[in-house]
Structure 1
Amino acid sequence: MTDLHNLLSQWFIDQPVAWTTIRTLFVLLTAWASFHLARTILLRWIGRLIRSSRTDLDDVLLDRSVLRRAALLAPVVVLYYGVEVLPGPTPYLLQIVNAALAIVLMLLVGASIDAFQDAISEYDARSDVPIKSYAQIVKILIYVVGALMTIAVLTGKSPWVLLSGVGALMAVIILIFRDTILSLVASFTIASNRLVKVGDWIEGPAFGADGDVIDISLHTVKVQNWDKTI
C-alpha cells in the first residue's frame, strides 16, 4: 500500500491539488464502502441468522441496534488509518477520528448494556433484582467516562486535568440538577434494598397511583392502576 502511494505521488508530483483531491476522495469512499459492507454483513447476513434462530434472546441485538452501531466502527477504523495519507494537520485529524471512535464505542457499549438487560429480563421475568435500574446506572457512568475521554482527546489534555477543573463546577451542577440527583439516590436506594419490586401493589394517592408495579427504572416507578391506567 505504501509503495502504491509513493508511485502515485510521483505521477502527480506536478499536480498537488489533483493528488490531494484523489487521496481525500479515496479515503472517504473507502470509509463509505466499509460502512455499507459492515451493515450488509451484520444486519442482513448475521441479522438473518438471528431472526431464524430458535431462541428469542439474541433478538435483542437487533432490537437494541447493537449490530447497527457496531457497523459504525468500520468507517472510523478506515479513517484512522487513512488519515496518514491525507494532507494537512494530521495530528488534529487524528484527534477528531479518535474522538469519533470514543463516541462510537460509548454508543456501542450503551446499546450492549440495554441488550443484556433485555435478555436477562426476558430470561428471568420474575426476578426480584431491578436489572433495569442497575443497567441505567452503569450506562450513566459509561457516558460520563466516554464524554470525558472525548473532550480529553479533542483538547489534548489528560482526563485527570479535566476532572480537577470539573470539581470547581460541582457545586453549581448539584444546585442545577438537585432534583435529578435526589431521584437517582432514591432509585438506587430502592434498587439496592429492594424496597419495591415488579408485581408489588402500592398506593400513592398524591401521585394517583393505586395498583401493581409494572416497571422500575432509574427515574420512575410505573404503576398500573386497577382501571388499567398508568
Structure 2
Amino acid sequence: MMHYFRDNDLYQHLHDMVWNSDIPVLRVIAIFILLHCVAHYLVLPYLDRKVARKKTSKLTIITHHHFFHRMVLTLQGAVLAAQLSFIVNPHHEILAWILTGARIWTLTFALLAFYAFIDVICDLLKTNLQFKGLPYHGLQQSLKLVGAVIYIILLISLLVDKSPLILFSGLSAIAAVLLLVFKDPLLGLVAGIQLAANDMLQPGDWIELDSLGANGSVQDIGLTTVKVLNFDNTITTIPTYTLVSGSFKNWRYMVEHGARRIQRTINVDIATVRILSPEGKQAIVNHGALAPLMAADSAAETNIELFQEYAKAWLAQHPAIRTDMTLMVRQLQSTTYGLPVEFYAFASQTEWIAFEKLQSAIFSHLMGVISLFDLKIHQLS
C-alpha cells in the first residue's frame, strides 16, 4: 500500500512541491507550527494560570467564553493565508486549495471569536448595576444574526471567487424573499431596540398581558420571543414585537418605589348607620381600643363617618403604610349589598406573600373594631 501511495500522482506532486520547488513551502509550514506551539503551549496556558491565580470575575468571563483561544486560531489562519497568498500561482492548484481552506478557517474562527466577544461584553455589562437590566439575550442574538449573515456572504464570495460587493448588490433582487424569511427576527430586532431604548422591559419584571394569558416574571428577552414565568409556574412565550405594537402592564415601578396599592371595600349594613349624639360620640372616642380618634379633631355627625376618620387615622399611624402617598377612606355608591366603604392606601410591602399578610392584618383589625361604632357588616341572609 505504501508503494502504491508513493507511485500516486498526488504524492509525487506534494513531494515535488515541498522538497523540489523553489516556492518556500517549508518556511510557511515552519512558521505555522512555530506560531501554533507558542500560542497553545506558552501564551494560552500562561493566561489560564493567571486567571486561576487571580480568580477575578472579569478575567474568568473572558476565559469562560474561549475568546483568546478563538482569536489565536483566527490569527493562525490569517498568518497562513497571508503567507500562501504571496506564493500561490496558477500552476499550483493544491496550494490554491490550501489557501482557500486557510481563508475559510480564518473566516470561521473570526466569526466564533466575534460571538465570544459579544458574550464577553454582555456578561461584563451584566456585572455593572447601571446596565444590569438590559435585554442582553435579544441583543446577543441580534448581533450574532448579523454576524452570521455577513459570514455567509463572505464565505460564498470566497468559494465562487467573486467580490462580496457583487453579492451585496445582488441582495436587492431577493430582498422580498429575505424579508419573508427573516420577518420575525427583523421585527424582533426592531422591537428589542425599542424595548431597550425606552426602558420598557427588563428581565425580572412582573408583567400582565391578559390577551395572551401572561401574568408573571420575565425570565428571558430573546430576539423573537419573551419568556414569562407565570404565578402558577406555567410558561408563556410572547412574540417580542407584540409588546411594542400592543400594551402590557409592568409592575417594576411599584417594586422600585416600594409602594403597592391597597384598594378594598367593606360593605356596611345601611340599617346600622345613624346620627350620633354628643354623648354617644364621646363614648366611642374615649374607648380604649380607638386611641387614634383621641388625637383627631372629629367633625363626624354619623357613626360611619366616625369609623372612616378612625380608619384613616389608624392607617396613617401604621408603620407599613406610605403616608407620603394617597391615603383615603371613602364611601361608594350604595348597592343591594350595603354601603361600600373603600380603603385606598399604599403599602411599603411589595412582595406578594408579605403584602397579602399585611392586607389580612389591616382588614381583620378594621372588621374587628367596626362593631364599636354600632355598625354591622352587611351579610346576605
Pairwise TM-score range, normalised by the shorter structure: 0.7 to 0.9
Residue 179 (structure 2) aligned to one of 154, 171, 174: 174
Aligned partner letter, 2:41: T
CA deviation string 1:126-168 (max 9, x = no partner) = 6343344334333333332333233333333222211121211
State the partner residue of 2:72.
Answer: 71
Q: Distance in 1 between matches of 2:137 and 2:59?
A: 18
State the partner residue of 1:149.
Answer: 154
Structure 1: state its 5+ residue gaps: 1-14
Helix, strand or coil: the match of 2:127?
helix
The CA deviation at 1:216 is 2.0
Report whether the alignment pairs 1:20 with 2:21.
no
The CA deviation at 1:220 is 2.6
Distance of aligned partners of 1:207 and 1:64 in 2 relative to their CA distance in 1, 3 Å threshold? farther
Q: Distance in 2 between matches of 1:17 and 1:62?
A: 39
Q: Distance in 1 between matches of 2:29 and 2:144?
A: 32
User: TM-score, with normalisation over the residues of structure 2?
Assistant: 0.48
Larger Rg: 2
Q: Distance in 2 between matches of 1:206 and 1:41?
A: 59
Contact (CA 8 Å) 1:96, 1:154: kept in 2 or not? Answer: no
Report whether the alignment pairs 1:88 with 2:88.
no
Q: Distance in 2 between matches of 1:17 and 1:135?
A: 44
Distance of aligned partners of 1:126 and 1:149 in 2 relative to their CA distance in 1, 3 Å threshold? closer
Report whether the alignment pairs 1:116 with 2:118.
no
Aligned partner letter, 1:194: D
Tell me which moved more, 30-39 or 113-122. Answer: 30-39
Greater share of helix: 1
Q: Distance in 2 between matches of 1:225 and 1:58?
A: 36
Helix, strand or coil: the match of 2:227?
strand
Tell me which moved more, 78-87 or 37-46. Answer: 78-87
Distance of aligned partners of 1:220 and 1:17 in 2 relative to their CA distance in 1, 3 Å threshold? closer
The CA deviation at 1:229 is 5.0
State the partner residue of 1:225.
Answer: 230
The CA deviation at 1:201 is 0.8
Identity %: 28
Report whether the alignment pairs 1:202 with 2:240.
no
The alignment of Structure 1 onto Structure 2 pairs a total of residues equal to 216
Distance of aligned partners of 1:123 and 1:41 in 2 relative to their CA distance in 1, 3 Å threshold? farther
Asked which structure has the greater RCO (Cα within 8 Å, sep 6+), the reply is 1
Distance of aligned partners of 1:51 and 1:204 in 2 relative to their CA distance in 1, 3 Å threshold? farther
The CA deviation at 1:51 is 2.6
Structure 2: state its 5+ residue gaps: 1-11, 236-381
Aligned partner letter, 2:62: L
Helix, strand or coil: the match of 1:184?
helix
Q: Distance in 2 between matches of 1:54 and 1:17?
A: 48
Distance of aligned partners of 1:219 and 1:85 in 2 relative to their CA distance in 1, 3 Å threshold? same
Greater share of strand: 2
Distance of aligned partners of 1:181 and 1:78 in 2 relative to their CA distance in 1, 3 Å threshold? closer
User: TM-score, with normalisation over the residues of structure 1?
Assistant: 0.74
Contact (CA 8 Å) 1:42, 1:68: kept in 2 or not? Answer: no
